[in-house]
Copies of this chain bind each other. A is one copy, B any other.
């Protein structure tokens, strides 16, 4: 019989970069910031969402229509837990940004609820609940945001039936940059324009690029990473929605970026660097370019977040 060990837990669910250009629906990377916070408390009433801050009223409050709510309900049911939970979500990143916003709250919530009940499940075992929640809302299951956000690091999804994934080695000096232009692209819109079939030759080329990138990560080989971070599947169509991509890439490269590409389904741009100062300068240059192009933005840089979701505080019963 699983019982609560804490009466209240606050947790952090980080942003993440899906696809990482070369691994469509398969690769994802965890960021240090931004991220969402979730505070959960034991309560008398049935499990519910008490409040959502920072979403400008856009997210559903109904427990069965919110990814964080669905993940928590599914967890409680799976472990046959009778106690009730009240959720307070604080969104600290925008919706439709390509930073895994929809998953970050669910990741924070599932991490918090598992901690509250004494961590009966491992981090890895929490993945299916969040995937299920994402699938229920978005209509398609892809874990390249939520799994890295949960586990940290760079994660390769190797299969969905059954779910299989692997944390890949991350070079110690690998920095990310993320520039979020104040535009919105919905994942569902961005998926609609994808081809349903691709040529065998394109598939083989993309397989070679992804395989080369995996080898380069294992060898901390930055020049090879640069070479292999290419996408012939989603980028050619998605960049029609992001006409600033090509020029942004050139700017990032002029600041010695390893790579600059679309974060998830956009509009955010992610970049990879082997130097923190270059990352900062490069992101500022990208902001300036985007401003001339007509849109404001904010940026984030840091080492790849190897920790994933974290517990910020917990009050004992």
**Contact of A264 with B by CB under 8 A:** no
Contacts of A197 in B (CB 8 A): 197-200
Chain A contact residue count (CB 8 A cutoff): 37
Contacts of A218 in B (CB 8 A): 214-215, 218
Q: A211-B210, A215-B168, A215-B214 are in contact. Are A159 and B25 (CB under 8 A)?
A: no
Which of B157, B205, B207 is in CB contact (< 8 Å) with A210?
Answer: B207
Interface bits A188-200 vs B (CB < 8 Å: 1, else 0): 0000001111111
**Contact of A81 with B by CB under 8 A:** no
Q: A195-B200, A196-B200, A215-B218 are in contact. Are A209 and B159 (CB under 8 A)?
A: yes
Q: A197-B198, A199-B197, A227-B164 are in contact. Are A204 and B158 (CB under 8 A)?
A: no
**Contact of A75 with B by CB under 8 A:** no
Which of B26, B194, B204 is in CB contact (< 8 Å) with A211?
Answer: B26
20 contacts between A and B (CB under 8 A): A24-B204, A25-B204, A26-B207, A157-B208, A158-B212, A159-B205, A159-B208, A194-B200, A195-B200, A196-B199, A196-B200, A197-B197, A197-B198, A197-B200, A198-B198, A198-B203, A203-B233, A207-B210, A210-B210, A215-B218
Oligomer copy total = 2
Complex Cα gap A202–B160 (Å): 12
Contacts of A203 in B (CB 8 A): 198, 202-203, 206-207, 233
Are A158 and B199 in contact, CB atoms less than 8 angstroms apart? no
Interface bits A203-233 vs B (CB < 8 Å: 1, else 0): 1111111111011001000001001100001
**Contact of A281 with B by CB under 8 A:** no
Are A209 and B24 in contact, CB atoms less than 8 angstroms apart? no
**Contact of A5 with B by CB under 8 A:** no
Complex Cα gap A195–B198 (Å): 11
Are B198 and A158 in contact, CB atoms less than 8 angstroms apart? no
Complex Cα gap A198–B198 (Å): 6
**Contact of A166 with B by CB under 8 A:** yes
Contacts of A202 in B (CB 8 A): 203
Distance of A153 from chain B, by nearest CB (Å) = 13
Residue of B nearest to A27 (CB): B211
Complex Cα gap A26–B206 (Å): 11
Complex Cα gap A148–B217 (Å): 22
User: Which residues, 161 to 177 on A, are CB-close (under 8 Å) to B?
Assistant: 164, 166, 168
Distance of A82 from chain B, by nearest CB (Å) = 38
